Amino acid sequence: MKDKEIKYQAPALDKGLDILEHLSAQSIPLSQTEIATGLDKSPNEIYRMLMSLESRGYILRDEVSGKYRLSLKLFYLSHRHSPVDELRKAAQYPLEELANKIRQSCHLSILYMNQIMVIIHAKSPGPIALSIEEGNLFPLPLTASGRVFLSYMQNSEREIALSGYPIYMAYPDQEKKNFLNSLLEIQSKGADLRNSDLANGVIDVSVPIGISNTGIIACLTVSSLTALNVNQEMNNDEILLEVKKCAKKIEERIGVATL
């Protein structure tokens, strides 16, 4: 552990968060002893913290069994602000910094109604730039960001998502197999870099934001005009490296732990 992290540790706060996280991972109420066992602590060590969390309304204690469970307070607090707004705020400066550095436009997109929705866009400082407007919707199979989302889905979820696209369902069996294999390659590389399926003369570079056991939060994508690549200072591999650095900054700003 870094010296700075040790210096600013708050044991009581850590203990309270441990209790909340442990209860959130359980499907049934737990007694004081069960919570202590799960946290590898003695019941006395967590007694005061349980009392504090109960008095603040974060946990509830059953009058009959005496067991604790989470209240809806965390749910209420999490819904007092828009997650998309928070994501936009966290991404704005890193995206602008990225666009200025690579001199290409970039955007952040999320999964919405089985489509890709662009939620924020940073324009290239150059005189000629590709603009992808916020709020636009794009199909999953035909976009780099869509393929990144698909690559991190569970198999059953991916099958349902792709079944909603006639263009994919019309693929011959071998083409479907090739497409699914390409998703495995994307997940292995942690990025998708290829010519755009939606526009000629465009190269897309897309990486995931916030990889977790339940999937990803968003995708960061740079769509560059190949006609400009001849004179640009950075090649596609260098751009990909900068895109990954930007994704990491956004993840740090939203407090997402990645694998």
Q: What is the pLDDT of residue 191?
A: 95
Q: What is the pLDDT of residue 108?
A: 95
- Residues 38 and 145 occupy one common structural domain: no
Within a domain: 73: yes
Most confident of 118-122, 132-136, 199-203: 118-122
Q: For 221-246, how does the pLDDT look when each residue is reduced to its tens digit (9 = 90+)?
A: 998 877 665 446 678 889 999 999 99
- Residues 123 and 215 occupy one common structural domain: yes
Domain stop point among 77, 111, 136: 77
- d(CA 2, CA 84) in angstroms, rounded, equals 32
Q: What is the pLDDT of residue 232?
A: 61
Domain containing residue 178: CATH number: 3.30.450.40
- d(CA 194, CA 149) in angstroms, rounded, equals 15
pLDDT class of 254 with cuts at 50, 70, 90: confident
Within a domain: 130: yes
Q: What are phi and psi of 179, to 5 degrees?
A: -65, -45
Within a domain: 221: yes
- Residues 16 and 66 occupy one common structural domain: yes
Work out the percent of the chain whose per-residue pLDDT is above 90. 59
- Residues 96 and 24 occupy one common structural domain: no
- Residues 113 and 138 occupy one common structural domain: yes
Within a domain: 259: no
- Residues 72 and 99 occupy one common structural domain: no
Q: For 167-193, how does the pLDDT look when each residue is reduced to its tens digit (9 = 90+)?
A: 999 999 999 999 999 999 999 999 999
**Region 88-114 average pLDDT:** 93
Minimum mean pLDDT range among 7-11, 117-121, 177-181: 7-11
Q: What is the pLDDT of residue 110?
A: 94
Nearest to 51 by CA among 68, 63, 30: 68
**Region 188-204 average pLDDT:** 88
- Residues 122 and 248 occupy one common structural domain: yes
Distance of CA 85 to the CA centre of its chain: 14
Nearest to 32 by CA among 64, 71, 61: 61
DSSP string, 134-194: TT-EEESTTSHHHHHHHHTS-HHHHHHHHHT-HHHHTS-HHHHHHHHHHHHHHHHHTSEEE
Within a domain: 223: yes
Laid out side by side, the sheet with 192-195 consists of: 137-139, 115-122, 106-112, 218-225, 202-209, 192-195
Within a domain: 212: yes
Domain stop point among 59, 77, 95: 77
Work out the percent of the chain whose per-residue pLDDT is above 70. 90
Within a domain: 248: yes
pLDDT class of 161 with cuts at 50, 70, 90: very high
Q: What is the pLDDT of residue 224?
A: 83
Question: From the CB of residue 46, how many other CB atoms can be counted at a distance below 10 Å?
Answer: 21
Domain that holds residue 202: 83-254
The tally of domains found in the chain comes to 2
- d(CA 101, CA 126) in angstroms, rounded, equals 11
Domain stop point among 77, 93, 128: 77
Domain containing residue 32: CATH number: 1.10.10.10
- Residues 44 and 97 occupy one common structural domain: no
Q: What are phi and psi of 227, to 5 degrees?
A: -65, -25
Distance of CA 5 to the CA centre of its chain: 25
- Residues 110 and 217 occupy one common structural domain: yes
- Residues 148 and 238 occupy one common structural domain: yes
- Residues 73 and 87 occupy one common structural domain: no
Q: What is the pLDDT of residue 215?
A: 66
Distance of CA 212 to the CA centre of its chain: 7
Q: For 55-99, how does the pLDDT look when each residue is reduced to its tens digit (9 = 90+)?
A: 999 999 998 999 999 998 887 776 666 778 889 999 999 999 999
Mean pLDDT of the chain: 87
